[in-house]
C-alpha cells in the first residue's frame, strides 16, 4: 500500500520569505501523480500543484514550485514571496497512474503553515 | 468549485440514527468520491463511483453505503451512526481527460454524532 508522510506538523514563515514543505512517499509503482492541496480555514480543499512522475521537469504554478526527486521518493513544495493568504493546512497526496488504485488519493497528515506579518 | 454542492453543511445527530449526506454536481462528471477528514489522518477515501449505479469501496468503507441513481447525485449513508463517524465529509469529482485528471472538492459537511 502506498503511504505519504509529511514530517512537519507545523511550520511558520515571515511574510515575503520562502518556505519549503516536505513530503515523502512510498510506492512500488513507476508511474503515478503527486499533488499538493491547500486547506484554508474555510475548509475548502484547493489544488495547488500537480506533478506527473514520468516528467522530470518540476511543476511550477506562479509562486508555488515543487522539488520532485523520484529516486528519493521526495516531493517538497516551495512557496516563494509568502503572503498572509498562504496560511493554511497543506496536504501532500499520491495517486496511482492506472489500475484500481488510480481512483484513490492517498493523503499525508498535513502541515499547518502560519505566515507572520 | 467545479459545480459541487454538499448538503447539509453541518449536522448533529445521535448514535444509532441513520444519516444521509448528499453531493450534487452540475457538470456531468463521471467520477465522484466521498472522503472523510479527521485530525492526524488527512483525508481517507470511503467510497467512489465511476458511473450511474457503479460504485466501489475505498479505504474506510465499513459502516457506510453509497448510491448513485443519476449522474448528478452521489449519496453517502450512515445506516446507524456511531461516534467514531464524527468527522468532516468531503465529496469530490474528477475533471479532465484521462491521464490529466484533477480532483476538485466540495466545501465539506461537518457531522457530529453524539
- Quick: pLDDT tens for A31-57: 889 999 999 988 888 999 999 998 889
* Among B83, B39, B76, residue whose Cα is nearest residue B61: B76
Residues 6+ apart with CB under 8 A from A68: A34, A51, A53, A58, A59, A74, A75
pLDDT at B111 exceeding the cut of 60: yes
What's the pLDDT at B42?
A: 85
Chain A nearest-CA distance from B91, in A, is 10
Residues of B in contact with A93 (CB under 8 A): 43
Question: Low-confidence residues of chain A, pLDDT below 70?
Answer: 1, 98-103
Is the CB of B54 inside 8 Å of chain A's CB atoms?
Answer: no
Mean pLDDT computed over every residue of chain B: 91
Which of B26, B3, B10, B2 lies closest to B89, judged by CA?
B10
The band of B38, judged by pLDDT with boundaries at 50, 70 and 90, is very high
**Pick from A6-10, A22-26, B37-41, B94-98: least confident:** B94-98
User: Could you tell me which of B93, B90, B78 has the C-alpha nearest to residue B37?
Assistant: B90
CB contact under 8 Å between B48 and A104, yes or no, is yes
Confidence (pLDDT) at B99:
59
Closest residue by Cα to residue A79 from A19, A12, A38: A19
List CB contacts of B39: < 8 A, sequence separation 6 or more: none
Amino acid at each position: 500500500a502506498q503511504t505519504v508522510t509529511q514530517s512537519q506538523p507545523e511550520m511558520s514563515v515571515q511574510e515575503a520569505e520562502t518556505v519549503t514543505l516536505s513530503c515523502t512517499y512510498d510506492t512500488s509503482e513507476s508511474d503515478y501523480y503527486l499533488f499538493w492541496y491547500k486547506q484554508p480555514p474555510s475548509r475548502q480543499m484547493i489544488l495547488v500543484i500537480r506533478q506527473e512522475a514520468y516528467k522530470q521537469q518540476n511543476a511550477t504554478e506562479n509562486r508555488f514550485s515543487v522539488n520532485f526527486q523520484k529516486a528519493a521518493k521526495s516531493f517538497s513544495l516551495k512557496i516563494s514571496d509568502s503572503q498572509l493568504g498562504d496560511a493554511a493546512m497543506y496536504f501532500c497526496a499520491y495517486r496511482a497512474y492506472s489500475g484500481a488504485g488510480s481512483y484513490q488519493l492517498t493523503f499525508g497528515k498535513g502541515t499547518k503553515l502560519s505566515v507572520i506579518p | 468549485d467545479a459545480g459541487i454542492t454538499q448538503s447539509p453543511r453541518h449536522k448533529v445527530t445521535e448514535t444509532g440514527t441513520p444519516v444521509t449526506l448528499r453531493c450534487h454536481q452540475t457538470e456531468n462528471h463521471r467520477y465522484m468520491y466521498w472522503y472523510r477528514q479527521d485530525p492526524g489522518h488527512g483525508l481517507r477515501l470511503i467510497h467512489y463511483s465511476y458511473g450511474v449505479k457503479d460504485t466501489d469501496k475505498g479505504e474506510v468503507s465499513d459502516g457506510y453505503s453509497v448510491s448513485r441513481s443519476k449522474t448528478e447525485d452521489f449519496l453517502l449513508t450512515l445506516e446507524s451512526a456511531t461516534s467514531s463517524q464524527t468527522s468532516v465529509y468531503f465529496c469530490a469529482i474528477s475533471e479532465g481527460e484521462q491521464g490529466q485528471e484533477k480532483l476538485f472538492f466540495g466545501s465539506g459537511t461537518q457531522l457530529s454524532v453524539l
